[in-house]
Amino acid sequence: MEYISTRGEDDNINFESALLNGLARDGGLYLPKEWPKLSFSEISDMQGLAYFEIAALIISKFTGDDLNTDEVTQLTKKSYENFTHPEVAPLTPLENGLFALELFHGPTIAFKDYAMQFLARAFQKALLKIGKHSVILGATSGDTGSAALQAFQNQDSIDIFILFPSGKVSPIQERQMTSLAGAGAHAICVAGDFDTCQDIVKACFNDHKFRDSTNLSAINSINWARLVPQIVYYFTSALELGAPHQKVAFSVPTGNFGNIFAGWAANQMGLPVEKLIIASNRNDILTRFFEDGRMRREKVEQSLSPSMDIQVSSNFERLLFELLDRDAHLCAGKMEAFASEGMFDVSVEQLKKLKEMFAAYRVSDEQTTYSIKSLFDDYGVIFDPHSAVGLHAARAARKDKIIAESIPVISLACAHPAKFPDAVEKAIGIRPQLPQQLSDLMNRQETKINIDGTTKATKELIIKNKRL
């Protein structure tokens, strides 16, 4: 298994190098040189297996000689043994062939746990093999940060620094990051929005002298190894509804495009996906793109679903690379135009091709609130606002007949409602409670560092605080 960059100058590396590098040295994102395929019978044979067993079969397709299936199985078994639901990622039936995929049963009650718990163990194993120490730098719009800090704290070979935008994550999300006191784990409050944090991360990686001197690595979804474990729950949920004999569709609350790209990757591997529904909030850069074929960066606006308050969907570069028939020169040119001018476009024919698999919807705060209320009134189920955005888009797609009645639709529920209690209480008049293991969260002692939203301030902080 070899990996190539979307910008064409950092190619033919193995899985562990892609894992530890995070971002390619040419500024691009890694993808498999060839997509691994699963046959109809291989997918069918997954029926009845435990979640960690399916995870091992899928992830090992991407690890090549670096980790064999038995080694991956050891990692996945450890990764999911502390999840609170026996099925790890259970499905809840709603109406008219619509299902909710619950992705909030991990230690930080958000979907990022499904990848981060595996990633931390894979990192540790790879670093111990080569006898190196690594500095991990990441940006979060809410859930990545707590999942990463929880998973990577107290590891001798890793220091982790997570940047989050001041005042733009929920109080629960912030406290989940700032209350972690494990060695080597740093929650950094940045003056600016999520795109500011993400730009700082990319700038640090593109400074090769700094990158090499600190042995910098990434755990955001720009890291290919972060996306791979997310492919798993597309398979497990589809299998439960009859795949590979039955096609399925997915509705995905979407900001940085990583989670939904994992669904696209599942389809490339052989999972029969009928449609992927992009569910955006008022920060609708992706919805606008699917309307006119033009990606335009605008100002980030705060919404009830703050983890999706993004105007730069970094993982879209991977889909763009595929759309351009893997022409790295063309892809690099469009990404450079986006960086300098805040815009790029694709042809009418290319947009039409994308629409064969994708449909995009924007969801207002009012529609989000209505979806939370209607779901609770009809089924007694409580969704967080991000999951409600996905639910509204799923229902809209069904109403618009974009998806046939015979195709079940799986709507991803990406966070526990207690992470966003104000939005939920506004909708249904009930304040959701944190799970027992986090019941004392808001009383825990905080440790956070405030910095200016600059690359210089971030570099100085890392150099001052890294242990080796």
Instruction: Quote the CA–CA distance of 207 and 212 in Å, as a whole number.
Output: 9
Q: Which residue of the set 33, 37, 112, 419 is catalytic?
A: 112
Query: What backbone phi and psi angles, to 5 degrees, belong to 432?
Result: -65, 140
Q: Residue 17: what pLDDT?
A: 94
Instruction: Quote the CA–CA distance of 79 and 87 in Å, as a whole number.
Output: 14
Q: Catalytic annotation on 77?
A: no
Instruction: Quote the CA–CA distance of 109 and 93 in Å, as a whole number.
Output: 20
Backbone Cα Rg of the chain: 20
Q: Between β-strands 158-165 and 185-190, what pairing exists: parallel, antiparallel or unpaired? A: parallel
DSSP string, 49-91: --HHHHHHHHHHHHHTTSS-HHHHHHHHHHHHTT-SSTTSS-E
Q: Residue 303: what pLDDT?
A: 95
pLDDT in tens, the chain (468 residues): 999 999 999 888 999 999 999 889 999 999 999 999 999 999 999 999 999 999 999 999 999 999 999 999 999 999 999 999 999 999 999 998 999 999 999 999 999 999 999 999 999 999 999 999 999 999 988 788 899 999 999 988 899 999 999 999 989 999 999 998 688 999 999 999 988 998 999 899 999 999 999 999 988 888 999 999 999 999 999 999 999 999 999 999 998 899 999 999 999 999 999 999 999 999 999 999 999 999 999 999 999 998 899 888 999 999 999 999 999 999 999 999 999 999 999 999 999 999 999 999 999 999 999 999 999 999 999 999 999 999 999 999 999 999 999 999 999 999 999 999 999 999 999 999 999 889 999 999 888 899 999 999 999 999 999 987
Cα–Cα separations (whole angstroms), residue 12 to 8, 24, 161, 335, 375: 10, 11, 29, 21, 48
Q: Residue 327: what pLDDT?
A: 97
The ranges assigned to domains in the chain are: 91-110+224-428
Q: Residue 84: what pLDDT?
A: 96
Q: Residue 11: what pLDDT?
A: 87
- Contact criterion met (CB below 8 Å) for 14 and 65: yes
CA of residue 264 relative to chain centroid, distance: 13
**Arch. (CATH architecture) of 91-110+224-428:** 3-Layer(aba) Sandwich (3.40)
What's the DSSP call for residue 308?
G
440 Cβ contact partners less than 8 Å away, ≥ 6 residues apart? none
Instruction: Quote the CA–CA distance of 305 and 366 in Å, as a whole number.
Output: 12
Residue 292: Cβ within 10 Å count: 12
pLDDT digits (tens, 9 = 90+) for 97-126: 999 999 999 999 999 999 999 999 999 999
- Contact criterion met (CB below 8 Å) for 447 and 181: yes
